[in-house]
Structure 1
Amino acid sequence: MQRPDCAVACVDVLELEQRRHGSILSSTVTRRALTTAVVVVAAAAAVATAAAAPDLNASLPHTPAAVAAALTSTDASVWSAIDAWHAPRAATPPVDLTLFALYDQRLIRKLAANPRLLRSTLPSLAPVLRTRVRELATAHAELVRITPPLRTRTPRVGPAARPDDLLRWYHEAQRRFGVPWRVLAAVNFVESAFGKLRSASAAGAQGPMQFMPGTWHAYGLGGDIHDAHDAILGAANYLRASGGRTNVARALHAYNPSSFYVDAVLRYARELGGDSRVFYELYSWQVYVRSASGSVRLTGPGRH
């Protein structure tokens, strides 16, 4: 349907696994990992409620223990800020959520770029956070592999639709076409950061769901390729026609013929389906694009 790249770049890694019954990797290693995780969680819990939002360009930690502590503390702060963000939610998240989410996003990007640091950090995280960090960092690393720099020197950005409107449209599309809402949300996030990135892709794909014009003509239901609601319905229509009711992975491969793309979208979709707050966290992340000179943040405080 599209091109082997995606508009937003967000390696599999080893995870220390333990079993409640039977043998385990090593009693010494297990005890050390559990002790470290308990210390990290306890320390983060003690400061999470009192933590001030980080500065825009706050430095990132470098050691696995420090990164784990930062992730744990920041995750708690992001969750608290999301819980305090009551409906009707505006297209611009509260300032504290924006800053905490940006810091969290920068940590994930750092881990995605450094598989060794990621492997060393994961055992010190609580199980649920460990899984989420692994999934988000791995998905981002996979997308980086297939995302070329934007051709335009002046990428266009703008606000996304309101988050609760997006959720309502994903569920509408799921009811109508049978494609899981979380998959549609993941595609929307990967392709355009929920519509924040307005530029066409390097291959010419357009709109919040990054359709090639010819494909949109066939599956867009007569709607506007740049309208978020229309684009979500069009994507669901295309994915259903590609087998999305029974084989989402195959449908996603038709949408973008890259195994890295398919795996990344499914990783995001799993996290989106696990806790409703993950959607609001990803919604609060900023747009980064690859340029000839490196990665550039286009949105958020000091940018847009």
Structure 2
Amino acid sequence: MIITTIKELRAYLDTQRKSGKTIGLVPTMGFLHEGHLSLIRRAKAENHIVVMSDFVNPTQFAPNEDFESYPRNIEHDEQLATDAGADVIFYPSVEEMYPNGSSTFVEAEGDITKVLCGASRPSHFKGVTTVVAMLFNIVQPQKAYFGQKDAQQAAVLIKMATDLHMNIELIVCPIVREEDGLAMSSRNTYLSANERAQAVILNQALVKAKTIFENGEHNVPNLIKTITDKITEMPLADIDYVSIYEYPSLKTIETVKEKALAAVAVRFGKTRLIDNIILEK
């Protein structure tokens, strides 16, 4: 079932709540793949009603980014989401979410939004926190589900929910990968055949770093060098960043002592891909 207005969605969910049903939310920007579907299936296993939002959010795109060209296919999404267990696909227009005169934003400050993707996309997380806060307010779920592929986003949203005392449990689910290890992403469709073949180096580099970490290498610069050297084996790889931070605080560290996030962003042609792996003693 597709619902396009906030009023209709709230009316439907109010009825469900009155009958004692729990609600899970899966926020997406559509163009679904198995990664999204794994979140929906997890949500359905833990809640009576699952709402999946399908909204390409303009406020998290910079002017030179791919908002207009971002892949969209609501008919395809509806079938996949319904088959996976979604009860409602919330598919609002930009005007529905940001009506004329809308000028209120939610922003998490500090290092957590300034490193990694926040360094090269300074307005990105302000858009993410704003739209997710709006979805939390509209849907009022007990639980919301996010993917580990967007690890910084998950950390930022957990901080937002904690700082603003939101009574919602945020659940971060494992990365879903293609058979060759490439993390599933809607942007993978942008890759040429040659770029797609070389993009597998991201996961290979992260796995190599985790292997040497588990064998006793905990020095962050050495781990970063291992990842960087592996990625640069591919001639089309243009590195944006290779970084390791304490997780989920994203504080700078020289040695992995407890839990850390090894994260990469690399361009293949015009397509920017991200991936990560957790390093944990």
The two structures have a TM-score, normalised by structure 2, of 0.24
* Structure with the higher strand share, 1 or 2: 2
* Structure with the higher helix share, 1 or 2: 1
The two structures have a TM-score, normalised by structure 1, of 0.23
Which of the pair has the greater relative contact order for Cα pairs under 8 Å at 6+ separation?
A: 1
